[in-house]
Amino acid sequence: MRENQEKTTVLLGWSLQAIEAIDKLDRPFVVVGPPEFTTFAEKNNIKLIPWTFDVPIEQSFELYEILKELNVSVAVPIYEETVEWAGMINSLIWDDPKVFNKSLLLRDKGLMKRRAHLAGLRVGVFEEAYNKEDIYRFFKRINQAFMKLEGETFEPIHVKPFDKAGTVGHYMIKKPEEIEQIDDSEFPLLMESHLEGQEFSCEAFIHNGKVKFLNITEYVKLGHSNFVPASPSLEKWRPQIKEAIEKLVEGFEVKYGLLHPEFFVTPEGTLYFGEVANRIPGGHIFEHIERVYGFSPYQAQVLCCDPETPEEVLNKFFPEEVVSAKGHSGNLMIYPKVNVISRLEIPTELKEHPYFLKHNMFIPTTSKVSERVGFGNHYGSIYFLGEDSEVLRDLLVKYEKHNFYV
C-alpha cells in the first residue's frame, strides 16, 4: 500500500481495535472522535481531532476543512452515528453528492426497507408511527390480515427507532396493552410485522461494487449469542444469501465499504430482509472472523472503503470463505438475572470444557444492575472456539439460562 502512504485515512468514531488494525497497515490515519479520549490519544501518539457527532450534519463542512489540510483520501465509519458523517465527508472528498444520499439510506430503517423492496428483496409489512394510535391501528390491521379470532393468540409486531443500532429502543408487541409501555418521547418509530425463520447477519466486504468476502454469522439468540462461520444447515443457503447481498449492493448502489445486513430464512430457504448497517457489527463478530479466518476485518473495512486499494491487494488479503475457517468462534453475552449483584459464579465444568476460550465478566463497582436499554446491557461475554457447530450451539443455549451473577 506504499502508493497510499502520502494520503490520510480518517476513522470516524473511537475503536481501539480499529486504531491498532489501521496502524499495522502502515498508512497515515487520523481519528475523529469524542473529546474525552484526547488525553489517552496524546499519551499514545494517536492523532485525534476531538468531535461530537450529535451536532447538525451541516457542521461536516467545518470538519472537512480541517481534514482537507491533512490530505485525506477516505473516511471510514466505525459506529452507527458516524455513517452519514462518513457519507458527507467522502462526498466532499470525491466531489460526489450522491455518496451522502446513499449513506442516509443506510441510517433510516424505513427508507432502507423501501429500497430493499424495490431491489427485489422480500420484506415484511411496515409503516411509520407518529403516536400510539398509529401502533394500535397497525397491530389491529396485522391481526385482521391473519384472520385472528377473539380469544386466539395475537400475531406480534415490532416497533423500533429509525436510526438506532442493534436492539436499542426495540419493542416486541404481543398484545395491545403493551403499547402503553412506549413513551411519547420515542416517536416517530418504525412498525413492522413479525418475521418467522432463523435470523442471521452477513458481513459483506465490498470493493468496486463487488462482494470480495462474505461472512455469515449465525444468531443463536438475538442480542445474546452468535457464532462464525454459520453451521452447515445455514451455510447451505449461501448461494441464495449471496444473491440477496448482490441485489442489496446493486439496489443501494454501494461501491465501497462494509455492509452488515440481517436476514431471516425459513426452513424452505425463503429469505426475508430485516435491515442493513454500514459500520462495524456488534456482538464481537469481527473478533470471531479474525479468530477463525486469520485476517483483520478492521483492516478489511479500511481497504474496502478506499477506492484506490488495488484489486490484487484485496485478492491476496481475503482467504477462501468457510473452508479456510479454523473451527467455529462464538460468544455469549451475559445479562444479570438479578437486580442487585453480590458475587460472580462460574461453573467449573464450563471452564474445563474444551471449547471454552475465555471470559471477560466482571463485578461492577456498584452492585445495582443498570437499567436495560433495548434487550439489555451485558456484563461481559464468554468466548468459545471449537470444531462442531452443534456442540457450540448447545453450549450457548445451555449457559444463556445459567445465573452467573447472584
pTM: 0.91
| pLDDT (0 to 100) of residue 67 | 97
Q: For residue 249, give Cα distances in angstroms to 181, 186, 240, 333, 376.
A: 37, 31, 14, 31, 32
What kind of fold does domain 196-325 have according to CATH? D-amino Acid Aminotransferase; Chain A, domain 1 (3.30.470)
| pLDDT (0 to 100) of residue 17 | 96
| pLDDT (0 to 100) of residue 2 | 45
Q: Which CATH class is domain 126-193?
A: alpha beta
Q: Which CATH number fits domain 2-105: 3.40.50.620, 3.30.1490.190, 3.40.50.20, 3.40.50.720?
A: 3.40.50.20
Instruction: Enumerate residues 6+ apart whose C-beta is below 8 A from 285.
Output: 201, 203, 215, 217, 226, 228
- Apex CA 378: angle with CA 79 and CA 198, to 5°? 75
Beta-sheet strand order (sheet of 256-265): 271-277, 256-265, 198-207, 210-221, 225-228, 328-333, 381-386, 356-359
- Domains of the chain, residue spans: 2-105, 126-193, 196-325, 330-400
| pLDDT (0 to 100) of residue 26 | 87
Per-residue pLDDT tens listing for the chain (406 residues)? 444 457 999 999 999 999 999 999 989 999 999 999 999 999 999 999 999 999 999 999 999 999 999 999 999 999 999 999 999 999 999 999 999 999 999 999 999 999 999 999 999 999 999 999 999 999 999 999 999 887 899 999 999 998 876 667 789 999 999 999 999 999 999 999 998 899 999 999 999 999 999 999 999 998 899 999 999 999 999 999 999 999 999 999 999 999 999 999 999 999 999 999 999 999 999 999 999 999 999 999 999 999 999 999 999 999 999 999 999 999 999 988 888 888 899 999 999 999 999 999 988 777 776 665 544 567 899 999 999 999 999 999 999 999 998 8
| pLDDT (0 to 100) of residue 79 | 92
| pLDDT (0 to 100) of residue 263 | 97
| pLDDT (0 to 100) of residue 371 | 64
> What cell was used for 309?
486499494
